[in-house]
């Protein structure tokens, strides 16, 4: 039996969130375990989507649960957004890596995505509305692009104290001296 994985959500401004993720090449049990643990984390945190960098993995893996019902779950591995279309819509986006922050973000309504499933079989589909929105948000994570980058200057100002608080918390958890800094340098 595969070992049970458990993930925590990596919070802004952890530098792992800024890394560009690598394509998945092995469609094996380890990948299945990662996806299962990502879904478990997403549900526990009451999220509707999660990207692998948010659990500290630089892999191009997204899980989505747009309705909360298992039948609507989506797994997108090595996704490529090949087209974006439709009206540009404004939506209050949240992110598990930015707890408590919801910011207005403008994105096109629809996107066409090529990806593969857990077995490496290719998939292509167009997504719109809430699902299209989540995919575009999660896809950003694979490129190291974060909610804060999508905020207008006004939104950034509105959330400045909450963002500063996350930075303060991150620094407090990681003192600038000691073994942790050494580990970070090697990473």
Check if the beta carbon of residue 109 is closer than 8 Å to that of residue 87: yes
Token reading at 163: 């963002």
CA angle 47, 140, 157 (to 5 degrees): 80
For Zn ion, which residue of 52, 95, 101, 163 counts as binding (CB under 5 A)? Answer: 95
Stretch that binds Zn ion, among 1-9, 18-26, 90-98, 108-116 (CB under 5 A): 90-98
Q: Could you say which of 29, 104, 138, 177 is catalytic?
A: 138
- 37/140 with CB nearer Zn ion: 140
Closest residue by Cα to residue 144 from 5, 9, 12, 3: 12
Nearest to 41 by CA among 29, 26, 56, 30: 56
The minimum distance between CB 186 and Zn ion, in angstroms, equals 26
Mark the segment that binds Zn ion (CB under 5 A) among 32-40, 59-67, 95-103, 156-164. Answer: 95-103
Phi then psi dihedrals of residue 51, to 5 deg? -110, 145
Q: Using CB under 5 A, which residues numbered 26 to 55 contact Zn ion?
A: none
Residues that bind Zn ion (rule: CB under 5 A) add up to a total of 1
CB of 119 to Zn ion, least distance (A): 26
Cis peptide before 13 (omega within 30 of 0): yes
Q: Residue with the closest Cβ to Zn ion?
A: 95
138 carries an active-site annotation? yes
The tokens for 112 are: 């066409």
Residue 183 makes CB contacts below 8 A (sequence gap 6+) with: none
| Smallest distance, Zn ion to C-beta of residue 59, A | 15
Residue span binding Zn ion (CB under 5 A) among the ranges 23-31, 57-65, 89-97, 159-167: 89-97
Binding site for Zn ion (CB under 5 A): 95
Active site residues: 138
């Amino acid at each position: 039996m595969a070992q049970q994985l458990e993930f925590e959500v990596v919070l802004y401004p952890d530098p792992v969130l800024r890394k560009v993720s690598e394509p998945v090449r092995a469609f094996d049990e380890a990948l299945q375990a990662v996806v299962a643990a990502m879904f478990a984390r997403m549900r526990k945190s009451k999220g509707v989507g999660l990207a692998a960098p948010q659990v500290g993995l630089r892999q191009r893996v997204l899980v989505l649960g747009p309705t909360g019902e298992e039948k609507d779950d989506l797994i997108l591995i090595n996704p490529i957004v090949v087209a974006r279309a439709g009206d540009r819509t404004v939506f209050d986006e949240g992110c598990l890596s930015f707890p408590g922050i919801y910011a207005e973000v403008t994105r096109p309504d629809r996107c066409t995505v090529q990806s593969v499933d857990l077995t490496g079989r290719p998939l292509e589909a167009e997504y719109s509305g809430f699902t299209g929105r989540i995919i575009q948000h999660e896809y950003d994570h694979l490129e190291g692009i974060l909610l804060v980058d999508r905020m207008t200057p006004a939104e950034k100002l509105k959330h400045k104290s909450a963002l500063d608080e996350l930075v303060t918390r991150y620094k407090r958890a990681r003192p600038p001296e000691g073994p942790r800094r050494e580990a970070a340098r090697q990473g």
